[in-house]
Structure 1
Amino acid sequence: MRLPVARRSIEVDRDALLLLIAFTAAIEAVLVLIDNMVLLLGNNRFRFDTL
């Protein structure tokens, strides 16, 4: 009975790890987009200030 339980726990751990990886990847993508928008807004503001 120990082997099936171990296999099930490993499968659950794999699913959890995949979900965590996907979640962290999505967060990183959102942060990169936010950083790009901030840089674009900052450049536009600097351009308007210089003009």
Structure 2
Amino acid sequence: MAAWSREEAWMEFYVFCVIFRNALFRVGTFYAVDVVAPAAALRLQAQRSGLE
């Protein structure tokens, strides 16, 4: 196991955080597009058909 300097450890941690944040963002975007948007569209459609 390599002996890390403090700067290398912080760089590794920073890269990990950026990758983790990007993954969370992708999952969040996927959830918003595939789950929330269709549910909202269905709700709007139901309201419209109820009004007419």
Q: Return the TM-score normalized by structure 1.
A: 0.70
Q: Structure 1: 5+ residue runs without aligned partners?
A: none
Q: Structure 2: 5+ residue runs without aligned partners?
A: none
Higher helix share: 1
Identity value in percent: 9
RMSD in angstroms over aligned alpha carbons?
1.5
User: How far off its partner does 1:2 sit?
Assistant: 0.6
Q: CA–CA distance in 1 between the matches of 2:45 and 2:37?
A: 12
Q: Return the TM-score normalized by structure 2.
A: 0.69
| 1:1-51 equivalent positions in 2, closer than 5 A | 1-29=5-33, 30-47=35-52
Alignment length (residue pairs): 47
